[in-house]
């Protein structure tokens, strides 16, 4: 009658294995989240590079009125051009905080921004639609919608 019901013996090796499994799963979740964050940042850099390339091409060619659709991660809510500060391009998240900034060369900020200090374009389903314009006689490129 020395036998008790419901009693279970777990060895130290089994407990250690369970702890290791939990640790590995937590580390994998952390690594995936970090990788997705790096991917989002790389996507933003790609957007900036593509925009700079298109603006430079329009600046070095003749008159153009070229609509462009750029892919951008959904973590960016707005793409804004500003004529204040060292950088003239700001990428805002959904809470209105700038995520990243850059300086786009060959851009006519006065014509792009207009009367205000900033002109913004919405990121809709990961797409930003911009029109890159340069009229005959213009030295710099303007961005519109």
Output the six-digit token pair for 49: 């590079």
Q: Binning pLDDT at 50, 70 and 90, where does residue 106 land?
A: very high
Task: Note whether residue 1 is domain-resident.
Answer: no
**pTM over the 0.85 mark:** no
Task: Note whether residue 4 is domain-resident.
Answer: no
Task: Note whether residue 7 is domain-resident.
Answer: no
Task: Note whether residue 92 is domain-resident.
Answer: yes
How many structural domains compose the chain?
A: 1
> Which is nearest to 136 in space by CA: 37, 58, 20?
58
| Residue pair 66/131 in contact by the 8 Å Cβ criterion | yes
Q: 41-76 burial by CB neighbour count: b if 16+ within 10 A, else e?
A: eebbeebbeebbebbeebbeeeebeeeeebebbebb
- Residue 6, pLDDT above cutoff 70: no
**What is the mean pLDDT of the segment spanning 15-39?**
85
């Amino acid at each position: 009658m020395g036998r008790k019901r419901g009693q279970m013996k777990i060895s130290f090796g089994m407990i250690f294995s369970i702890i290791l499994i939990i640790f590995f799963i937590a580390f994998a979740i952390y690594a995936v989240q970090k990788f997705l964050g790096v991917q989002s940042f790389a996507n933003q850099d790609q957007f900036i590079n593509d925009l700079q390339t298109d603006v430079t091409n329009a600046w070095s060619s003749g008159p153009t009125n070229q609509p462009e659709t750029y892919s951008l991660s959904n973590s960016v809510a707005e793409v804004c051009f500003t004529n204040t500060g060292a950088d003239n391009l700001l990428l805002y998240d959904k809470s209105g905080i700038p995520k990243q900034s850059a300086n786009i060369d060959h851009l006519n900020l006065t014509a792009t921004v207009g009367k205000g200090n900033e002109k913004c374009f919405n990121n809709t389903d990961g797409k930003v639609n911009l029109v890159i314009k340069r009229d005959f006689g213009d030295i710099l490129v303007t961005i519109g919608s």
